[in-house]
């Protein structure tokens, strides 16, 4: 993918210091940081604006990430509308165990649907800060990333012609299925992968939450989770075989399983509603190291995927974007290269920490359903320890909230 520059006669006249590939949380945050510093950049996105503003995904955002957005003038709507979450609840052995993490970590989560955040970020970038963006582009290619004349080309949706944009840097923010990761020089990068061998049926229901907090059901028949999204819409998860067919999960089966796996003494009934999203996610992770080569810097899911087990992916995408945006500003406005030089290492410390936590949490969620009495026993011990050992509880809260003093 790292191709030589295309023929000069196809070069468009535009030149941008930075081309950002992908208008997700990572790309739009980088773009906003650059525009706030008065720097030009071009965001290229394969989907339409309507699609990115509606695509449902994450919802749980850690406080440090929200504060990072707030410092950059990007959290006004979020702070007005998002739900504040200070506790979660585990359900196992037919009982409820509330885990109040704010007291332990001194921090909390906000719940704000990813489409709302993307809508805010794109409005701020394109309409307020007047950043350049092209939606619906096709066949994005990167050129000459190691040479002196990097550029990005794409097929224009209106004309069908290939446009070429010269730049100094490329921010690869095009998610797990994008093209920029493949443009890293293969001899210089390593992609580490992990497959949990587990599937989750990810559901969105037109129903109010069944409890005021995130629920984790650790059941011998499989994990079940509830993540409130808004008063009208709730996300649920059900563990299932990887690659399972969502059509094998009709309405009645979904709600019967949720009632069983999340059932506990004294719990309010599960509020049923129409299922508006139903898809099977295979739980797997990857980490690309380093996250940069030549003039290309990856951020977010383009660089690392963390299965939604611990609700960490968007948080990591924002962390990368803060570091990359600030480093690009330092380089372009002040000639200071240090942020870009240390970017990958700085990101990867938090990435690996979150991956390790997800792996640990996966055993907590799925161990009792593994069909192995030994793993069921150690999982039960792990669960009990969270509610019997203050030290274990504090360690969990720190990892769940991402509040470690150093990564
Ligand atoms: P995104 O959001 O995937 O955005 C990438 C953008 O790039 C576009 N694109 C391209 N553009 C140009 N050229 C190309 N060749 C392109 N290829 C793709 C795409 O259309 C898209 O607009 O990546 P980014 O910005 O790195 O953000 C990552 C997050 O979206 C992701 O990590 C989270 O959604 C993960 N996640 C969660 N993370 C959390 O922190 N908290 C959560 O509660 C949480 N819940 C979830 C989740 C992910 C889920 N799914 C669907 C895997 C729940 C679910 C169900």
Distance 57 CA to ligand 1 centre (A): 7
The CATH classification of domain 8-60+114-192+285-355, taken from the options 3.50.50.60, 3.40.1440.10, 1.10.580.10, 3.40.630.30: 3.50.50.60
User: Residue whose CA is closest, atom 4 of ligand 1?
Assistant: 24
Residues 6+ positions from 240 with CB-CB distance below 8 Å: 199, 200, 201, 222, 249, 280
The rounded Å distance from CA 24 to ligand 1 centre is 6
Residue among 246, 211, 206 nearest 227 (CA): 211
Binding site membership of 28 for ligand 1 (Cβ less than 6 Å):
no
* pLDDT of amino acid 11: 41
**Measured from the CB, is residue 23 less than 6 Å from ligand 1?**
yes
Instruction: Return the domain boundaries, the chain.
Output: 8-60+114-192+285-355, 80-112+197-283+371-401
Counting from 1 in the atom list of ligand 1, the atom nearest the Cα of 300 is 26
Q: Which fold has domain 80-112+197-283+371-401?
A: D-Amino Acid Oxidase; Chain A, domain 2 (3.30.9)
> 115 CB less than 6 Å from ligand 1?
no
Number of other CB atoms surrounding residue 330 within 10 Å? 16
Compute the distance from residue 338 Cα to the ligand 1 centre, in Å: 28
Distance 301 CA to ligand 1 centre (A): 6
Q: Which atom of ligand 1 is nearest to the CA of 154?
A: 13
The pLDDT value given to residue 147: 86
8 A C-beta contact, residue 271 and residue 234: yes
For ligand 1, whether the C-beta of 189 sits within 6 Å is no
Question: pLDDT 10s digit of each residue in the chain, 407 long?
Answer: 444 444 333 445 589 999 999 999 999 999 999 999 999 999 999 999 999 999 988 899 999 999 999 999 999 999 999 999 999 999 999 999 999 999 999 999 999 999 999 999 999 999 999 999 999 999 999 999 998 899 999 999 999 999 999 999 999 999 999 999 999 988 999 999 999 999 999 999 999 999 999 999 999 999 999 999 889 999 999 999 999 999 999 999 999 999 999 999 999 999 999 999 999 999 999 999 999 999 999 999 999 999 999 999 999 999 999 999 999 999 999 999 999 999 999 999 999 999 999 999 999 999 999 999 999 999 999 999 999 999 999 999 999 999 999 99
Q: How many CB atoms lie within 10 A of CB 194?
A: 17
Domains 8-60+114-192+285-355 and 80-112+197-283+371-401 share a fold: no
Contact partners, residue 286, CB within 8 Å, separation at least 6: 191, 192, 193, 194, 304, 305
What spacing in Å lies between the alpha carbon of 175 and ligand 1's midpoint? 5
Cis omega (within 30 of 0) on the bond before 254?
no
User: Which of 175, 202, 276, 347 to mutate for ligand 1's pocket (most ligand atoms within 8 Å of CB)?
Assistant: 175
pTM for this prediction? 0.95
């Amino acid at each position: 993918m790292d191709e030589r520059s295309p023929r000069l006669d196809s070069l468009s006249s535009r030149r941008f210091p930075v081309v950002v590939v992908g208008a997700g949380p990572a790309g739009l945050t980088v773009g906003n940081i650059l525009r706030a510093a008065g720097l030009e950049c071009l965001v290229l996105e394969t989907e339409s604006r309507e699609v990115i503003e509606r695509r449902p995904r994450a919802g749980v955002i850690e406080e440090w990430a929200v504060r990072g957005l707030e410092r950059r003038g990007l959290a006004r709507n979020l702070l007005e509308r998002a739900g504040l979450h200070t506790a979660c609840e585990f359900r196992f052995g037919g009982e409820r165990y509330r885990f109040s993490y704010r007291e332990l970590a001194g921090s909390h989560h906000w719940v704000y649907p990813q489409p709302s955040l993307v809508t805010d970020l794109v409005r701020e970038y394109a309409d307020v800060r007047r950043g350049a963006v092209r939606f619906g582009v096709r066949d994005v290619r990167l050129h000459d990333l190691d040479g002196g004349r990097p550029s990005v080309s794409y097929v224009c949706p209106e004309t069908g012609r290939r446009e070429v944009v010269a730049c100094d840097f490329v921010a690869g923010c095009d998610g797990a299925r994008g093209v920029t990761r493949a443009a890293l020089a293969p001899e210089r990068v390593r992609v580490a992968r992990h497959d949990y061998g587990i599937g989750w049926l990810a559901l969105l229901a037109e129903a109010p939450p069944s409890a005021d907090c995130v629920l984790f059901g650790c059941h011998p028949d499989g994990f079940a989770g509830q993540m409130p999204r808004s008063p009208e819409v709730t996300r649920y998860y059900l563990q299932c075989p990887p690659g399972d067919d969502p059509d094998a999960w009709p309405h009645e089966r979904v709600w019967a399983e949720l009632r069983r796996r999340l059932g506990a003494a004294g719990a309010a009934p599960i509020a049923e509603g129409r299922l508006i999203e139903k898809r099977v996610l295979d739980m797997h992770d990857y980490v690309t190291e380093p996250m940069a080569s030549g003039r290309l810097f990856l951020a977010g899911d383009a660089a690392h995927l963390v299965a939604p087990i611990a609700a960490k992916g968007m948080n990591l995408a924002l962390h990368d974007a803060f570091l990359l945006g600030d480093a690009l500003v330092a380089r372009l406005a002040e000639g200071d290269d240090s942020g870009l030089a240390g970017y990958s290492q700085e990101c990867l410390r938090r990435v690996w920490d979150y991956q390790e936590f997800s792996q640990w949490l996966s055993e907590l969620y799925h161990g009792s359903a593994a069909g192995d009495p030994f793993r069921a026993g150690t999982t039960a011990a792990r669960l009990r320890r969270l509610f019997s050992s203050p030290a274990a509880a504090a360690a969990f809260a720190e990892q769940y909230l991402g509040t470690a003093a150093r990564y």
